[in-house]
Amino acid sequence: MVAMRFLVRLIVNAVALWLTTLIVTGVTVDSFGDGGPVETVLTYLLVALVFGIVNAVIGTLIRIVAFPVYILTLGLISFVVNAVLLLIVAGISTGLGFGLSVESFGWGIVGAFVLAVFAWLVGLVARPVLGGRGRA
């Protein structure tokens, strides 16, 4: 059941990333290989996997360290943190030869916000598959 939830969350994040690249012009994904449909889908899934790992490891560490700043800014610092995480994912995936490109920090903030909204909306649709609340 945990593997199923992980796979559904990965697909939710990949779809949210795809929708984000359609809306936000400063955030793009470059497929590996010849860029056919299979390569494109695999690229989005790989970028979503990298984003999940970066968010789980580095994002958690940043949120713990910056907890007082979250309180002082009433959570608005999360936009900056998510933009930084998006830029880290772009750097990692570009270093691997495929993936996410973010034009600037400003586009990172816009992209992170749109990505969060789409992940939430797609997650609402996937909630029945995840078994209720959608959390592992």
Residues 74 and 68: beta-carbon distance below 8 Å: no
pLDDT the model gives residue 31: 86
Looking at the predicted structure, is the pLDDT value of residue 136 above 70?
no
- Identify which of 116, 50, 34 has the alpha carbon closest to the alpha carbon of residue 80: 116
- Per-residue model confidence as pLDDT tens digits over 19-41: 999 999 999 999 877 878 999 99
pLDDT, position 134: 46
| Whole-number pLDDT of residue 110 | 96
pTM over 0.85: yes
Q: Pick the residue with more confidence: 20 or 135? A: 20
Burial 8-43 (b: 16+ CB within 10 A, else e): bbbbbbbbbbbbbbeebebbbbebeeeeeeeebebb
Which 3 state secondary structure label does DSSP give 99?
A: strand
Work out the widest C-alpha separation in the chain, in whole angstroms.
48
Q: What is the pLDDT of residues 70-104, one digit of tens each?
A: 999 999 999 999 999 999 999 999 898 888 999 99
Dihedral of CA atoms 60, 66, 68, 71 in degrees, nearest 10, equals -70
Round the average pLDDT of the chain to a whole number and report it.
90
